[in-house]
Structure 1
Amino acid sequence: MAAPSRKQVLKFLCQFGAFILTRFGFWNCFSMLMLFAERADAKRKPDIQVPYLYVDMGAAVLCASFMSFGVKRRWFALAAAMQLAVSTYASYIGEQVHYGDWLKVRMYSRSLAVVGGFLVLASGAGEVYRQKHRTRSLQSTGQVFIGVYLICMVYSLQHSKEDRQVFLSHIPGGEVTLMLMVLLFGVLALAFLSGWYIRLAAQVLATVLPLVILFIDGNMGYWHHTRKVEFWNQMKLIGHNVGIFGAVLILATDG
């Protein structure tokens, strides 16, 4: 049996990235429901007022369903980007729940990056049989949002003791390795913001992100028990990084 060609491997990875990103809405809604159920036991409020929360989740599930079935995927990817942007903004200005500044950076930067991922999808990137020309302006905007997320990672690794500690406990080399990671994320951010070497930058990020998800985000003992991040809030953040990984896979193979 012949080994798959490079083109077939890239096509599979691109489809896999689109599969992850189009299903993001389902996991995000599920983790939000579990988070708010967790808060209900402690008599804490959700991020968004309840009547609007159901509308928000309904819109997210609707967009995810149509994207998953490939029905007008560009339009519903754009709608999903708008829905998540409005939801994030409503959570931010609502101030129904108090978060530390370091946690706000983690939460809102990841939401912004997923919005960018949806814009990349809405541009036509990742389509197996592209019947319309790609909208480069949407893709460029999405790339900028992912670049901002990387800048926030650089900021967190430099100024957030919570993020610095979890990285230092999992990477050999201590402060030297940490500074090299800051440099790496900074260079990747510049690539995404400028639009230069996007495919190469996305390939590097697609290699690094699974390690971050597994060893950093997946350290539930640190985030939940030591830093008091709600369990399902951390699961929600993991889902965001997985969604970003899907978007990066698309750019790495079809950027």
Structure 2
Amino acid sequence: MVDNHTPLNHPVITAASRKMKPDIHIPYLYVDMGAAVICASFMSFGVKRRWFALAAAVQLAISTYASYVGEQVYYGEWLKVRMYSRALAIIGGFLILASGAGEVYRQKPRSRSLQSTGQVFLGVYLICMVYSLQHSKEDRQVYLNHIVGGEVTLMLLEVVFGILALAFLSGCYIRLAAQILATILPLIILLIDGNIGYWHHTRKVEFWNQMKLIGHNVGIFAAVLILATDG
């Protein structure tokens, strides 16, 4: 997709680049989709959930890397931050699931190393959110359209996200930090991500891409809920 802030004479924009392209080359795209469906199916039925959660984390890491290096589609820098930070957080969520966190009847002890790694990924995601609110006028504008207090409230949000990031990165007060984030994320999903008109029509984010970003944030919310109840 083409960012609306990119000039029409940008060297990346050609007749071919205006056509819809997947982020990954077609043969590998089908393999990636098949792997995702298999991992999701086994996790849903609770069959070797830890193993398939770990496999899903590896699969998503590979597909995200392939998308990044393939450069099939041009994205603006602000959109790259949104996309790749959420993908990283979803990988962290899979690692948290693979650690055994959230299991009602845990037959094996949880892997604290996997959980800690997943928490670090969530912390990096929150740092990227702070970065976007500070440096991305696209992100700043959509927040300012929906919060009371303008720049002051936006600054407070940046501080909150920064503190939560430190909690996840350090491993301190994880359950409390997850509970706070679990309270904030639904509002972000509904008011910020759910503003399809702003992202799709004003900022020229492809509809499918915005749906993917919403899905990623829902997945992040699920991972945070696990930590909020079993952190």
TM-score when scaled to structure 2?
A: 0.92
Q: Does 1:99 align with 2:75?
A: yes
Structure 1 residue ranges, 4+ long, deviating more than 2 angstroms after superposition: none
2:175 aligned to which of 179, 199, 208: 199
TM-score (ref. length: structure 1) = 0.83
Equivalent position SS for 1:154: helix
1:233 alignment partner, one of 187, 205, 209: 209
Give aligned-pair identity as a percent. Answer: 85
Answer 1 or 2: higher relative contact order, Cα 8 Å, separation at least 6: 1
Give the alignment of 1:1-255 within 5 angstroms. 43-255=19-231
- Per-residue Cα deviation, 1:53-110 (whole angstroms, up to 9, x for no partner): 0000000000000000000000000000000000000000000100000000000000
* In 1, Cα distance between equivalents of 2:90 and 2:21: 24
Distance (whole Å) between structure 1 residues aligned to residue 89 and residue 63 of structure 2: 14
Instruction: Report the counterpart of residue 8 of structure 2 in structure 1.
Output: none
Instruction: Write 1 or 2 for the structure with the bigger share of helix.
Output: 1
Q: CA RMSD in A?
A: 0.9
Secondary structure of the 1:173 match is coil
Q: Matched residue pairs, number?
A: 215
Deviations 1:128-169 (A, max 9, x none): 100000100000000000000000000000000000000001
Look up the equivalent residue of 1:154 and give its one-letter code: V
Which residue identity does 2:79 align to in structure 1? L
User: Separation in 1 of the partners of 2:21 and 2:129?
Assistant: 28
- The residue identity in structure 2 corresponding to 1:152 is C
- Unaligned 5+ segments in structure 2 are 1-15
TM superposition shift of 1:123:
0.2
SS at match of 1:216: helix
- CA–CA distance in 2 between the matches of 1:89 and 1:185? 26
Cα offset, 1:201, TM superposition: 0.1
- Compute the displacement of 1:45 (Å): 1.5
* Whole-angstrom distance in 1 between the partners of 2:209 and 2:87: 13
